[in-house]
Amino acid sequence: MQNMSLKQITNAVSGTYYGDPALKHLDISGVAIDSRKIETDFLFIPIKGARADGHAFIPQVMNDGALCTLCERHLEGISFPYILVTSCEQALKDLAKYYRETLNIKVIGITGSVGKTSTKEMVAAILKQKYKVLKTEGNYNNEIGLPLTIFNIREEHEIAILEMGISEFGEMHRLAAIAQPDIGVITNIGIAHMENLGSREGIMKAKTEMFDYLRPDAAVVLNGDDNMLSSISDVNGHKPTFFGLSESCDIYASGLRDMGLFGTGCNIHFPDGELMITIPVPGKHMLYNALAGAYIGRLLGLDYAQIKMGIESFTPISGRTNIIKTEHLTIIDDCYNANPVSMKASLDILVSGLQRKVAVIGDMFELGPQEKELHYDIGRYAAQKGIDAIFCIGALSTEAYQGAREHTAENSSILHFATKEDFLGKVKDLIQKGDTILVKASNGMEFSEIVKELKGY
């Protein structure tokens, strides 16, 4: 963390400082909301969670070397400094916003219904060929995680890539006010979080809240094949840049070469030239990730060789179209999250398997009133794709099971399991040597346990 004194922090969070005045000029070395992550001279921000109130850990973190803590109530009989605030959670956001405004660094904000994480990873893989890059890790893409990611920006970093996930109106406003991107990317407008946002139009409105807090002269990079995003002609007085497979896009791909589970080859067309590349991860969605990343790379001064190296060295993170080869199985580990669009994309990848193709699919959350219909449609889609075995897990996936049963031959292997544990109890009898197995569901289903079990075969 760069140069932030207790005096500056007090002002940034509209707080009141209590303690030795001589300490107010000292700089903190970092910020933590988890008492277990405190290091020397850190600032502790105690957050009230569902299970615990961080205020209970204030004495511990101060003994462990924290320089100061925020607090929502007066502390009596203590010798360490603290800053009294109305809300620690709001102070966390205010402080992150202040810190971001002090940084001379390019910030890329990425949002969308599907593909935020894989796009972020692709952009990072490309940009790190030239720059020192900080990126969002794990699920730190919300109103708590985003500030913590920003606090991890150090003096050596030249670019920050921030994933921005939302589930309700106004949330993107709050995230973008903190991040203030120099480059704003929207991957697509799908139907994730329909429960709170109501419709694709609602999702579009919520995602584009980002535009209100872009830096002056910021670049906007949009999926030109998305029928809603492609309708945007002006953002804050500037024309957005579109990527896609259509030649009408500013940057597009042609000459697609399907290599099955080994990825896709294509030619990327820039306004000023052309580049032949191989994307080493399967799936049409990875084409879009590569196109967005390639354009951002050119925008930030990378040459074609650097962009090619970044794309072709890309490796997916666990749970994100990660191909795992065991002695007897090929596992498509895509269990981090799911919605109808990403589920269909993953089933499309599964079709490329060489032997028996097996789909282990589970519930998709936050789909609103259409959740049963959307699960049924996934089962139908899997059956019509010719998937050899379809194993549906969870209460909502009863609908997927019905959709599959009603659109396939009776001798197909289609089963429903109420719980993940029920499935794991019978998994040895269900899989066969040589299977290609897709594992996918919303993160709350914890299908990583299924992947872990399958890796042992």
**165-201, pLDDT tens digit by residue?**
998 999 999 999 999 999 999 999 987 777 778 899 9
- Asked if the model's pLDDT at residue 108 lies above 90, the reply is yes
Asked if 115 and 259 sit in the same domain, the reply is yes
What does 271-289 look like in DSSP terms, one character per residue? TTEEEEEEESS-SHHHHHH
Phi-psi region of 434 (alpha: psi -120 to 50; beta: other; left: phi over 0): left
Angle, alpha carbons 172-251-182 (nearest 5°): 35
What does the alpha-carbon distance between residue 407 and residue 403 come to, in Å, rounded to a whole number?
6
Asked if 245 and 296 sit in the same domain, the reply is yes
What does the alpha-carbon distance between residue 278 and residue 294 come to, in Å, rounded to a whole number?
13
- How do strand 241-244 and strand 219-223 relate by DSSP bridges? parallel
Of the candidates 42, 57, 88, which is a domain's last residue?
A: 88
Residue 196: predicted pLDDT:
78
Whole-number Cα distances in Å, 199 to 112, 206, 229, 332: 14, 11, 15, 30
Is 110 a domain residue?
yes
Is 98 a domain residue?
no
Asked if 349 and 420 sit in the same domain, the reply is yes
Q: Which residues have C-beta within 8 Å of that of residue 22, sequence separation ≥ 6?
A: none
Asked if 214 and 298 sit in the same domain, the reply is yes
Asked if 140 and 60 sit in the same domain, the reply is no
Asked if 390 and 294 sit in the same domain, the reply is no
Q: Which residues have C-beta within 8 Å of that of residue 229, sequence separation ≥ 6?
A: 186, 188, 189, 204, 222, 223, 242
Q: What is the CATH number of the domain that holds 274?
A: 3.40.1190.10
Q: Which of 212, 228, 281, 225 is nearest to 253 (CA)?
A: 225
| Domain total of the chain | 3
Exposed, middle or buried by CB within 10 Å (0-12, 13-18, 19+), for 245?
A: middle
The mean per-residue pLDDT over the stretch 280-309 comes to 96
Q: Which of 157, 128, 134, 155 is nearest to 146 (CA)?
A: 134
% of the chain beyond a pLDDT of 70: 99
Is 20 a domain residue?
yes
Q: Which residues have C-beta within 8 Å of that of residue 48, sequence separation ≥ 6?
A: 54, 55, 88, 89
Residue 285: Cβ within 10 Å count: 22
- In the chain, helix, strand, coil percent, each to 5? 40, 20, 40
Is 317 a domain residue?
no
What does the alpha-carbon distance between residue 4 and residue 30 come to, in Å, rounded to a whole number?
9
Q: What is the pLDDT of residues 438-454, one digit of tens each?
A: 999 999 999 999 999 99
Asked if 326 and 228 sit in the same domain, the reply is no
- Asked if the model's pLDDT at residue 4 lies above 70, the reply is yes
Beta bridge partners of 234: none
% of the chain beyond a pLDDT of 90: 87
Choose between 409 and 314: higher pLDDT: 314
Of the candidates 248, 279, 312, which is a domain's last residue?
A: 312
Q: How confident is the model at residue 410 (pLDDT cuts 50, 70, 90)?
A: low
Is 231 a domain residue?
yes
Q: What is the CATH number of the domain that holds 13?
A: 3.40.1390.10
Of the candidates 88, 116, 146, which is a domain's last residue?
A: 88
Q: What is the mean pLDDT of the chain?
A: 94
Residue 198: predicted pLDDT:
83
Task: Tell me the backbone φ, ψ of residue 132, rounded to 5 degrees.
Answer: -85, 115
Asked if 255 and 367 sit in the same domain, the reply is no
Asked if 134 and 113 sit in the same domain, the reply is yes
The mean per-residue pLDDT over the stretch 205-215 comes to 96
Angle, alpha carbons 174-88-86 (nearest 5°): 100
Is 129 a domain residue?
yes
Residue 411: predicted pLDDT:
58
Q: What is the pLDDT of residues 316-332, one digit of tens each?
A: 887 778 899 999 999 99
Whole-number Cα distances in Å, 454 to 105, 261, 415: 43, 18, 18
Residue 195: predicted pLDDT:
75
Is 15 a domain residue?
yes
Domain ranges, residue 152: 103-312
Asked if 342 and 245 sit in the same domain, the reply is no
- How do strand 159-163 and strand 82-84 relate by DSSP bridges? unpaired
Q: What is the CATH number of the domain that holds 368?
A: 3.90.190.20
Asked if 115 and 256 sit in the same domain, the reply is yes
Is 96 a domain residue?
no
- pTM for the model stands at 0.85
Give Rg (Cα) of the chain. 24
Q: What is the pLDDT of residues 344-383, one digit of tens each?
A: 999 999 998 888 999 999 999 989 899 999 999 999 999 9
Choose between 133 and 345: higher pLDDT: 133
Residue 177: predicted pLDDT:
98
Q: Which residue has the tokens 């067309």?
A: 269
Asked if 228 and 262 sit in the same domain, the reply is yes
What does the alpha-carbon distance between residue 208 and residue 192 come to, in Å, rounded to a whole number?
15
- Asked if the model's pLDDT at residue 253 lies above 90, the reply is yes
